[in-house]
Amino acid sequence: MRCFIAVDIDTKILNQVEKLQNNMRSDLGSAAETIKWVQPQRMHLTLKFLGEVPDSDLMEVCGVVASVAKKHSGFSLEVKNVGTFGRPARVAWVGVDENKILEDLQADLEDSFGLAGWKADNKKFVGHLTLCRIKSFETGRRLGRLIGRYENFEAGSCNVNSVCVYESELTKTGPVYRLMKECQLTG
């Protein structure tokens, strides 16, 4: 099974993100139809993507996450700003404000999984919610030119009190996420 570790985002934040997506669709016109938009109810803040995990390793994965969660306290997360990855844009996202507690939590997860023998992710962590994926070169260029309109976007803040282990099943209609374990932050 494909697994990842994530933080769930409050519904009020996701409602603001959905409004942003609607504004972006409107600004893009017919080009918006060439974009794969992420449904807000499927959005999460990924802390670590594990990829394929044998069923027999799921208990170990949940154990690592639970152990890390016990060492960290809950915190507030501010969701704001919009950006893209790639040139031309391949992914548009909403970011999270710099947050030392979140960065420490993610680094602790990365280190703990590394010690347990899992592959390290050598990319710098960039906390974000994916808005959409762009396949068309021209649409990516167009979105890249429009993205500045949204750079001061603010969705608000929410409290983070747990870290979740999800299974991700890829289907023709999009990914289906199943919560495998929710670990409370208790530090």
pLDDT digits (tens, 9 = 90+) for 50-82: 999 999 999 999 999 999 999 999 999 999 999
Active site residue 72: no
Active site residue 128: yes
Question: Catalytic residue among 31, 32, 35, 44, which?
Answer: 44
Please give the domain boundaries of the chain with CATH numbers for all domains. 2-184 (3.90.1140.10)
Strands (E), the chain: 2-7, 35-37, 45-52, 75-85, 91-96, 128-134, 154-160, 162-171, 174-184
Q: Tens place of pLDDT for every residue, the chain, 187 residues? A: 899 999 999 999 999 999 999 999 999 888 888 899 999 999 999 999 999 999 999 999 999 999 999 999 999 999 999 999 998 999 999 999 889 999 999 999 999 999 998 888 878 898 999 999 998 889 999 988 898 899 889 999 999 999 999 999 888 877 889 999 999 998 6
- The predicted structure's pLDDT at residue 187: 63
Question: Catalytic residue among 48, 128, 142, 181, which?
Answer: 128
Question: Mapped to the 3 state alphabet, what secondary structure does 36-69 carry?
Answer: EECCHHHCCEEEEEEEECCHHHHHHHHHHHHHHH
- The predicted structure's pLDDT at residue 108: 96
Give this prediction's pTM: 0.90
Three-state SS at 21: helix
- pLDDT tens sequence across 93-112: 999 988 999 999 999 999 99
